Amino acid sequence: MSENNGSISDANAPSQARPLKIAAVIDCHGTIDDGLYQSIVRRTTEAIKAGADYIIYDIQTYGGMVDSADDISKYLIHEVAPLARTMAYVSKEAISAGAMVSVSCQDIIMRRHTTIGASAPIVMGGQLEGVEREKIESFIRAIFSRAAEANGYPEALLKAMVTRQVEVWQVKNLKTGQMEYVETEHLPTDPNVYDVDNKRLIVQDDEILTLTDSKAYEYGIARAVVDNLDEALAFLAERDGVIFDSKVLYFKPLWSEQMVRWLNSPAVVSVLVLGILLGIYVEINTPGLGLPSLLAIVCLVILVGSRYLTGMANWIEIAILVVGILLLLVEIFILPGFGVAGFLGIACILIGVLGMFVRTAPGEFPWPQNPMAWKEFTDGLMGIAIGFVAFLVVAMLLSRYMDRIPFFRAFVLRANLEHPRSSGDSSAVQGLGPNAISMELKPGQVGRTLSILRPAGKARFGTTVADVVTRGEFVNKDTPVKILEIHGNRIVVAAEQQKP
């Protein structure tokens, strides 16, 4: 490689005079989140125990959670750097939070045709404006400033990766011969120290800075530009006067770590929320089926478990969730109607689930404490909202077409055959098709409930006993109800208003 792009030459020092060093490689791929942070801590600890002198973090990411990137940044600067030399090897992209992790390493070496930067904060489903944006940008700028001071990167350029309205100039220090990068308000004026006549504007005030590999090297962010990891190691060996052991240590993430990260992605969270709500809805409308309730339980366990494994769900959120479930069970199976226990149960469940999307210390009440916690919370809330909207759409379709789905239609027939009415009933179902009961009933017909409708249950219309469902409201036992509509085996009723 040529000298102007951070290349290396053959070592001049004899190999026997150079100390032998061990290099370890840890990949940092995909969305930056709490799962990746915990995986990096585990693998870095293993690398240090294995005697690694240099730890190379292979960066391939378009960003992720700022709080998680901040945790990784602090870990690299405060805990890893005193024990081993850290290097970010940008093998594809280091965008947004990925740039934050990269500059937290003592060296950045970029592969050809890669990029770094574009670290302005964004929020799913919305825009940050005014004071809210400034609060979050201020937090991110502080992270970059900490890394710049620790590792010697141009702070003004890192700031321009986060915030618009930042002009950055390149000006030569005549005494040191080095290029310096300053904001407009800090431009030097002494012509004896700086070449003020030949200063160059490199970042305009209407852009977020993103740098290619060559520009990052030119501006002093990348130490070198290489074609592969072997060249990166050769550069470090030449610069630091060392020899690397021929066996490079690789520490890969566990499959369980990758699974937990996948389960915590917004798309999967939306699917899990859909599974929980859909399971409850189908179980209510086809009582006794069992499989939908099992689906809801499995989805809830996965949702809670995945958050717990990444440290997002602490004991207080889980305790609130369990209390909510117990209150709801008491309301359904012990107390009639729908009262205080049911309301408190639903409230506790919502608080418990939403609290799992808030980063708090163990024992703290799950409430966002800073701008980045609010951003993380709103991103999680967006995933829940998408799942809820999907549930409404699916529930609407099921309410119209459930009786046409063979699985549910067969179950309704099987339930009727397993629980036949007495021989005196005129609607005995032996030998009749699945629509036998509903064909005997008509909209407007009035009957009386035989069980509490939550919102599904049983009601008697003359001599016919049928499974019925309301439009969502709960109806007490032994209450007059009127048939509103009939769709196949689905009989929709409402409480009949008593005349004074």
pLDDT: which is higher, 323 or 406: 323
Measured CA to CA, the distance from residue 159 to residue 154 in angstroms comes to 9
Cis peptide bond N-terminal to 480, omega within 30: no
Instruction: Grade residue 359 by pLDDT with cuts at 50, 70 and 90.
Output: low
pLDDT the model gives residue 130: 73
Check: CATH 3.90.226.10 for 3-135+207-255? yes
What does the pLDDT look like over 73-98, one tens digit per residue?
999 999 999 999 999 999 999 999 99
Residue 54, φ and ψ in degrees, nearest 5: -125, 130
Measured CA to CA, the distance from residue 252 to residue 240 in angstroms comes to 27
Measured CA to CA, the distance from residue 355 to residue 367 in angstroms comes to 7
Return the structure tokens found at 438.
């509903």
Query: What is the torsional sign of CA 330, 331, 333, 334?
Result: positive
**In terms of DSSP H, where are the helices of 251-370?**
255-263, 266-285, 291-309, 315-333, 340-355
What does the pLDDT look like over 183-224, one tens digit per residue?
999 999 999 999 999 999 999 988 999 999 999 999 999 999
What does the pLDDT look like over 390-446, one tens digit per residue?
888 888 887 776 666 665 555 554 444 444 444 344 443 333 333 455 567 888 899
pLDDT the model gives residue 56: 98
Output the CA torsion 129→132→138→141 (10° steps): -50
Return the structure tokens found at 276.
């929980």
Domain range summary for the chain, segments of one domain joined by +: 3-135+207-255, 264-404, 421-495
What does the pLDDT look like over 42-77, one tens digit per residue?
999 999 999 999 999 999 999 988 888 999 999 999
Measured CA to CA, the distance from residue 283 to residue 294 in angstroms comes to 9
Query: What is the torsional sign of CA 407, 386, 323, 313?
Result: positive
CB neighbours (10 Å) of residue 349? Answer: 20
Return the structure tokens found at 232.
């990166």
What does the pLDDT look like over 122-153, one tens digit per residue?
765 556 677 777 888 898 999 999 999 999 99
Task: Give long-range contacts, CB 8 A cutoff, 24+ apart: 45-50.
Answer: 46/251, 47/84, 47/249, 47/251, 48/80, 48/83, 48/84, 50/22, 50/24, 50/249
Q: Say which CATH topology domain 421-495 has.
A: OB fold (Dihydrolipoamide Acetyltransferase, E2P) (2.40.50)
pLDDT the model gives residue 42: 95
pTM value is: 0.70
Output the CA torsion 86→89→90→92 (10° steps): -140
The closest alpha carbon to 333, from 321, 345, 317, 347, belongs to: 345
